Amino acid sequence: MWLFTAVYVLLPNLSNFSFIANSANGDAPTLAWIGSAAAYALVYDVIIMTITGVIFSRRNFK
């Protein structure tokens, strides 16, 4: 069970970027929605890049 929880936590929540249901109703994306999606992507990328930086800083590639 812990494996599924780890995968759920580590993979990004792509529904934050989906605007299909709202656009089907004729709504336009708001700046707040675009900003929150961009902020989510930026935070996720920073976390992943930090983790990979820590992992690869310990390796010797010579």
Backbone angles phi, psi at 18, to 5 degrees: -90, 125
CB half-sphere exposure, 56, CA atoms < 13 A: 8
Model's pTM, two decimal places?
A: 0.74
pLDDT confidence of residue 42: 96
Predicted confidence band of residue 44 (pLDDT cuts 50, 70, 90)? very high
CA angle 26, 32, 34 (to 5 degrees): 75
- Model confidence at 32: pLDDT above 90: yes
- Model confidence at 52: pLDDT above 90: yes
